[in-house]
Amino acid sequence: MGKQLTSEEIKNGMKPENNSKELKKAPQTPYYFETSDLVIIALFAALGGLSSSIIANFIRAVFKPLGIPGFGQIFAGLHIIWFVLIYLWVNEKIGAVFVAGIIKGLVELFSGNTLGIFALLIATGGAIVFEVSVFLLSNFFREKRLRHMCIAVSAGLAAVSNIIIQLETFLGYDHTIEVYVILIVLTFILGSILGGYLGIAIFKIFEQTGLLDWRRTNN
């Protein structure tokens, strides 16, 4: 421990020794989510909920008259893209997407989504699947070059969860098992592209333009 100076010695211009082990670190926030994180989660989850209600009603109106109800789910990646953006914008903090899923589902529920309470279950379920998947994959594939792949695959799995949760809705239709397999495969592929890679591309655009530089803190 360095020598502690008296007030008289300090007045005479003496400085404390630099090798003291009691040097204090810069104060850090005690909270897991910072204010900027909460703003991003609330704002973009709400925007995602509104857009999902519009997209869901539009796709349902298009596909149902064509006699192929349920196939609108292949565009589920457009709902998951908000989770990807939030995940990246809060510096990949686990738990952020789960909170966003609840908010997004509540917004869908009260904004006229025809799925009703299922909208909340689907949004929350998709958020959980995404976070669990991206956590496990990121820990298994630790190479930095595989980071985007982990996010895209997680987005695809989250999109597929939409079908699993709504499976009871589809059982009333005379679809063969082959049709369901095709539906799930297409949903996964398009979910990975529209939700995963498109979300990453949009994130990069925001990073380059600096539109969200205000969110940068001492994370």
Q: What is the pLDDT of residues 161-217, one digit of tens each?
A: 987 877 665 555 566 778 778 888 988 999 999 999 999 999 999 888 877 776 655
| Rounded distance between C-alpha atoms, residue 15 and residue 13, angstroms | 6
- Global pTM reads 0.77
Q: Which residue has the higher pLDDT, 172 or 145?
A: 145
Q: What is the pLDDT of residues 152-170, one digit of tens each?
A: 999 999 999 987 877 665 5
Backbone angles phi, psi at 184, to 5 degrees: -70, -45
Q: Cβ neighbours of residue 73 under 8 Å, at least 6 residues apart?
A: 159, 162, 163, 166, 183, 187
Q: Which has the closest alpha carbon to 130: 195, 201, 65?
A: 195
pLDDT > 60? residue 12: no
Q: Which residue has the higher pLDDT, 177 or 218?
A: 177
